[in-house]
Structure 1
Amino acid sequence: MEIDGIISAIFIGIIIGVLGRLVVPGRQRIGMLWTIAVGIVAALIGSALASVLGVADTKGVDWIEWLIQIGLAAFGVTALDRARTRR
């Protein structure tokens, strides 16, 4: 992955993390930096998963890829919130 791909993954990860956090109902007890980190990881994994499924390179906006990424971010935010709550 080139540097412009990493930078765009960071920016998309911020958006994905915030959207994933908005999807999860209730209050999450994690900070914005954790949300951004979860979003970046979800964006990278979601892109790889969409590529494997063959839905990553379509004409226009890749809605299925975005939904996969947001779903992974919501799962990550929920998992991290529950892990921090148990401590």
Structure 2
Amino acid sequence: MSWLWAIIVGLVLGLIAKAIIPGKQQIPLWLTTVFGIVGSVLGNWLATKFGINETKGIDWGRHLLQLIGAVVIVGLGDAMYAAVKGNRRRA
């Protein structure tokens, strides 16, 4: 069941990250989900390092770090995907 939750959270975080990042992203939905999962794991790791991974109630700090991780990973992943596919954007 934890894999199912990881996929659901990754999809949601990846879609939120795509909405936050300005412009149109080139990555497909399945890659958005993978990048969201990686961002979530990165956010959990950072929350553990900061000592805010387990709190009473809703873990707002952990969730914020997961979202920040997803935004960073989706942004970097989209840039790499565009570079590999040859769809480089002009500034």
Q: Select the residue among 24, 27, 44 that pairs with 1:27.
A: 24
Determine which structure has more spread, i.e. the larger CA radius of gyration: 2
Q: Name the counterpart of 1:82.
A: 79
Runs of 4+, deviation exceeding 6 Å: none
Q: Residues 9 and 44 of structure 1 are in contact (CA less than 8 Å); yes or no, is this contact kept in structure 2?
A: no
Which runs of 5 or more structure 1 residues have no equivalent in the other structure? Answer: none
CA RMSD of aligned residues (A): 1.4
Which runs of 5 or more structure 2 residues have no equivalent in the other structure? Answer: 87-91
Equivalent pairs counted in the alignment come to: 84
- The 1-side partners of 2:23 and 2:58 are apart by 30
- CA deviation map 1:18-70 (0-9, x unaligned): 11111101100111111000011111121122112111111211111111111
Instruction: State the identity %.
Output: 31
Q: Name the counterpart of 1:45.
A: 42
